[in-house]
Amino acid sequence: MSRRPLGAADADSRAILELSRRQIIAGSVAVAIVNDLPARMDPSVDACRAWLALEETHQDLVRRWQALDNYLIRERYWCDLSRQQCTVISEAVELEAIEHRLEALYATRQELLATLPNVPATTQQGLALKLAILAIIVMPDENEQAYNLIMSALHDLETLAL
């Protein structure tokens, strides 16, 4: 059983599990903007909404993983236990199940993300959803200018839709 989040060995994998507070807030703002745009037939809307649903599930699982990990470390002194002792702790078993689910979910999200550039956005909502996804996956700390451009484009779309 792992005692650290998936991929804790390298920064790229850590980014999968750890979103900054700023990124979570911006993603929420981006999705709120998108929800206000009028819906029409657009193949990108369903594809983007599917990715966003996977992202929401991913974030819920990460929060549960973090809560379990904190509990195990603080209350059960998990770091001091052997692998065999951990297998009888229900929270540790759940933690491992979440890790496997996160791995599968990450792969599914990446597969869907790879298809999105090939799905045309034919409405403002479709374009806004694509930008909302970018606002979530582009790390503001890693590329602030790109992130700011994405958020600006989202706000511009909101203004045009009014």
pTM above 0.95, yes or no: no
Phi and psi of 95, rounded to 5°? -60, -45
Is the pLDDT confidence value at 124 over 70? Answer: yes
What is the structure's pLDDT at 21?
52
What is the C-alpha separation between 56 and 146, in angstroms, rounded?
23
Where in the chain are the domains? Answer: 23-39+123-162, 43-120
What is the structure's pLDDT at 15?
42
pLDDT in tens, 125-135: 999 999 999 99
What contacts 146, CB < 8 A, 6 or more positions away? 138
What is the C-alpha separation between 123 and 125, in angstroms, rounded?
5
Residue 129 in tokens: 């959803």
Decide if 1 contacts 103 (C-beta within 8 A).
no
DSSP labels, 78-130: GGGS-HHHHTT-HHHHHHHHHHHHHHHHHHHHHHHHHHGGGS---SHHHHHHH
12 or 101, which is more confident? 101
Is the pLDDT confidence value at 156 over 80? Answer: yes
What is the structure's pLDDT at 17?
43
Q: Which of 135, 54, 110 is nearest to 46 (CA)?
A: 54
**Residue 16 — very low, low, confident or very high, per pLDDT cuts 50/70/90?**
very low
What is the C-alpha separation between 123 and 108, in angstroms, rounded?
25
Decide if 59 contacts 137 (C-beta within 8 A).
no
Rounded mean pLDDT of the chain? 81
Could you give the C-alpha distances from 30 to 20, 25, 35, 72, 76, in angstroms and in order? Answer: 15, 9, 9, 35, 39
pLDDT in tens, 31-85: 555 555 455 589 999 999 999 999 999 999 999 999 999 998 888 777 777 778 8
Is the pLDDT confidence value at 29 over 60? Answer: no
User: What is the rounded average pLDDT of the residues 92-120?
Assistant: 95
Return left, alpha or beta for 7; rule: phi > 0 is left, psi -120 to 50 is alpha, else beta.
Answer: left
What is the structure's pLDDT at 121?
94
